[in-house]
Structure 1
């Protein structure tokens, strides 16, 4: 059952899986993507492995607070500014979003947790590890990056898909998103388009909010690189990355694992970008569970 909690001055929509006495595991989703993109069967796998799983909608997405009082940035202009090496001003930052996650932990009376973030969620999780090291038992950075400009960019096809505008009606939206994630799959035979259509339909029914995409994308652009800080992390860290990710190429995950002391990388063949890869869930869930169990011990 989905509920809401007050956090950092806003409302965060969340739900949970598993026994409250299990290892607390906070799941943070990526850019403009709702918590339902953590598929329920995958969350149940994690719960069965001994976790108390919490998934939630980031601000500006799904049923969490829409930041309507904040301006809508010109992302193309921001991209040009960051490409030129100039600092940009954004409506809110990855740190604000990390504060949201910590505030949700406070609301749920979770003092410390294992934190797993996917794509932008991995960036937020990294910021949590830097700013709130006492609150994290472990970090898992999935399909994510240090944010450094010298790393390989998304493929042109993935970039075009990322910036495409979806149709306003449900059927068109679902088909559009299925095509986007087919591109994001990087040719993987494990991509399940039927599942992605189901996930995208659930997201549409909960509410799509286009300005949230722009503000979250701006937060990523405004963050810059974290390589110079990530070497300060002393929390047990696992990096999970696919070998055919065209959005955040494998080199980004390798860079993350190389810079965080003691980090281990799990490269999963056939994993693209997203969660509609059910044939790979067992390996991903097992890697996370082994990591959190070892960190707890």
Structure 2
């Protein structure tokens, strides 16, 4: 079963889509920087739901059909994004959730687990990072210089030209995919077109998360996280090198680390099968004997 809803919270409205059956364990999928809910492909969500999970994906602030701010002027920070996640759970009557965060969504998920430990049943952190405890003296490797140069030299799109913006999104996807495997431009371009078409303000979507004010580092608090944690990270991540995932797995007590040997930054469809298997195994309810609603490929 699939349904949509607009969740009204103080200062924002968030568009949410749900898959699966009520009563099944709930997964909340939290997207990364500048990414709307389409970062989690519909087929990916339905395959999770087939494994007897209630799956929620949503457009974060400034993305998709949710509330947008003027370009360059976001009125929120990461703590507000963490509060948004709790607001969605409240609106859907969810007391405990399995959080699945991608990139910046992984950072938001960590903050939710630290601020609301009783609401989180487990964490899955994909292509994410704990950040540095002291940003003035970083211990984690930065984005490789070659990638930084490509990002710096890339021209901004013409925001009024949908084709130009789609080209820019494909460029970013190609850069994030890394050198581990051949880039699937067809899938990237199809998603980019849909992202642009449904965005309330595509310039705000692709830029405002970079203007969000930084919050106090939380890496030193990672040992406070006591929920089962799964870390998934691409071996060829060109934005947050593998060491970021290894640090999460090392510093969150009992965390499990799985490296995607050909993966870059984000979720490649060719990694869906192992990722879905890992998430379903990680979030398996205590009751025995549950059968899937449909075959999970």
Q: State the secondary structure of the residue aligned to 2:233.
A: strand
Over 3 Å counting, the alpha-carbon distance change for 1:17 and 1:231 in structure 2 is: same
Deviation at 1:191, TM superposition (A): 3.6
Over 3 Å counting, the alpha-carbon distance change for 1:296 and 1:255 in structure 2 is: farther
Partner of 2:32: 30
Deviation at 1:228, TM superposition (A): 0.6
Over 3 Å counting, the alpha-carbon distance change for 1:244 and 1:137 in structure 2 is: same
Q: In the alignment, is the contact (CA less than 8 A) between 2:63 and 2:204 conserved in 1? A: no
Gaps of 5+ in 1: 74-89
Distance in 2 of aligned mates of 1:235 and 1:57: 25
**Is 1:289 matched up with 2:280?**
yes
Deviation at 1:190, TM superposition (A): 5.5
Deviation at 1:182, TM superposition (A): 1.1
Partner of 2:236: 244
Over 3 Å counting, the alpha-carbon distance change for 1:296 and 1:55 in structure 2 is: farther
- 1:132-147 equivalences under 5 Å are 132-147=116-131
Number of equivalent positions: 277
- 1:158-169 equivalences under 5 Å are 158-162=147-151, 164=154, 165-168=156-159, 169=161
Deviation at 1:215, TM superposition (A): 3.5
Partner of 1:154: 143
Q: State the secondary structure of the residue aligned to 2:283.
A: helix
Partner of 2:208: 215
TM-score with structure 1 setting the length:
0.87
Greater alpha carbon shift after TM alignment, 167-176 vs 138-147: 167-176
Deviation at 1:229, TM superposition (A): 0.8
Over 3 Å counting, the alpha-carbon distance change for 1:120 and 1:296 in structure 2 is: farther
How well do the aligned residues superpose, as a CA RMSD in angstroms?
2.1
Q: 2:184 aligns with which of 182, 192, 196?
A: 192
Q: 1:229 aligns with which of 221, 233, 247?
A: 221
Q: 2:22 aligns with which of 20, 28, 36?
A: 20
**Is 1:50 matched up with 2:52?**
yes
Gaps of 5+ in 2: 133-137, 289-297
Q: In the alignment, is the contact (CA less than 8 A) between 1:167 and 1:176 conserved in 2? A: no
Partner of 2:61: 59
Distance in 1 of aligned mates of 2:286 and 2:210: 32
**Is 1:126 matched up with 2:110?**
yes
Deviation at 1:154, TM superposition (A): 0.9
Partner of 2:261: 269
Deviation at 1:29, TM superposition (A): 0.2
**Is 1:72 matched up with 2:72?**
yes
Say which structure is richer in helix: 1
